[in-house]
């Protein structure tokens, strides 16, 4: 009877450390001497054999593309995945899909799985810190990031939407309508988008109007509701993604805030339900499918010099969720 093969998660559990720590130790990354010794001892006891990390021989890889996304139930990421799959299908390449939930530990576990399965290439929307991705680079895999960057890995090509232009256009539109107290409702991996928001608002930035939720719908709703309750003076919101925009719409409805009379709203991502809202939502449309397709094209490119990055345009689609700021009522 065959024994189940020991995985990187087994080693992490037995050593009492995270999967990311095991990945770092086994790939020669930084760790304390005590941690390194404990991980290596447990790995030896469990007879763990990290095939891709140990061999790192390209001819022994099985090929294919690993695709890591935060959440495939999110319409944006579903369309991005569709772009990757379409390109991979035309090239005759299989795709192994994993969802990270924007959890760095889960992301590290999936990276270990892809290395063990010997894939040649990885397309990822990164959620963890840069060190989590070190094992894939040391193992010689071809990497491309999509939609987000990973800190410390400027050498990895990335296919991105033009967030700077998208945020600037949205902020200019809202300030042109007279709004000055503009909030930002953000989520995981939006550090760069938030930086562009601060730059676009300049002296009008109010840090109390910047709220960052975790990756779940409950967290997004709590962040939106808390923002609206604690700062009833705000007049406009830029939501950093469709899940956050959905939370803003629901929270506004629960709190009897009328869009756009009481609150103007712009959301990143033009998803189908945005046009069905009452009123339809003004959005910053991102080419999600093109992001995936171009990332897959880039990771499949053989030979030659790969560009450091590809920047795709965004578009402000004006609908009915924004209106001129109402002057405050004068007391008699």
Report mean pLDDT in 10-residue bins for the chain, 332 residues: 67 84 71 82 76 43 84 93 95 92 86 84 84 75 90 84 97 97 93 94 95 91 96 96 96 96 96 94 97 95 72 96 77 42
pTM: 0.79
Where is 99: in which H helix or E strand?
Answer: strand 95-99
The set of residues, in sequence order, having a beta carbon less than 8 Å from that of 119 and lying 6+ positions away, is: 61, 62, 63, 64, 65, 66, 96, 141
Q: What pLDDT score was predicted for residue 3?
A: 55
Distance CA 194, CA 108 (A): 25
In this prediction, residue 322 carries a pLDDT of 97
Give the whole-angstrom CA distance, residue 245 versus residue 241.
6
Distance of CA 117 to the CA centre of its chain: 24
∠ CA 269-273-278, rounded to 5° = 110
At 309 the pLDDT is 83
Give the pLDDT confidence score for residue 29 in this predicted structure: 63
Specify the pLDDT at position 328: 60
């Amino acid at each position: 009877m065959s024994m189940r093969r020991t995985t990187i998660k087994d080693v992490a559990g037995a050593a009492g450390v995270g999967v990311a720590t095991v990945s770092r130790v086994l790939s020669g990354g930084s760790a304390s001497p005590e941690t390194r010794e404990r991980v290596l001892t447990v790995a030896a006891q469990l007879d763990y054999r990290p095939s891709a990390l140990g061999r790192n021989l390209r001819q022994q890889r099985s090929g294919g593309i690993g695709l890591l996304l935060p959440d495939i139930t999110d319409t944006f990421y579903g369309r991005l995945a569709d772009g990757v799959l379409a390109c991979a299908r035309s090239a005759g390449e299989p795709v192994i899909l994993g969802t990270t939930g924007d959890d760095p530990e889960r992301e590290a576990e999936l990276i270990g799985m892809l290395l063990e399965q010997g894939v040649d290439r990885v397309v990822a929307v990164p959620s963890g810190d840069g060190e989590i991705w070190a094992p894939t680079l040391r193992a010689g895999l071809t990497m491309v990031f999509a939609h987000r960057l990973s800190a410390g890995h400027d050498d990895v090509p990335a296919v991105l939407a033009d967030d700077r232009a998208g945020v600037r256009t949205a902020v200019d539109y809202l300030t042109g309508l007279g709004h000055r107290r503009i909030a930002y409702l953000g989520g995981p991996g939006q550090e760069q988008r938030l930086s562009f928001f601060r730059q676009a608002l300049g002296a009008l930035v109010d840090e109390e109007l910047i709220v960052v939720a975790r990756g779940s719908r409950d967290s997004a709703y709590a962040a939106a509701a808390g923002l609206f309750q604690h700062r009833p003076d705000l007049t406009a919101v830029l939501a950093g993604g469709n899940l956050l925009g959905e939370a803003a719409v629901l929270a506004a409805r629960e709190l009897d805030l009328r869009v756009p009379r009481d609150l103007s709203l712009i959301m990143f991502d033009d998803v189908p339900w945005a046009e069905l809202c009452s009123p339809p939502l003004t959005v910053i449309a991102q080419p999600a499918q093109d992001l995936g397709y171009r990332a897959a094209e880039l990771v499949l490119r053989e030979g030659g010099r790969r560009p450091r990055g590809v920047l795709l345009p965004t578009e402000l689609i004006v609908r009915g969720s924004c209106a001129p700021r109402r002057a405050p009522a004068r007391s008699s």
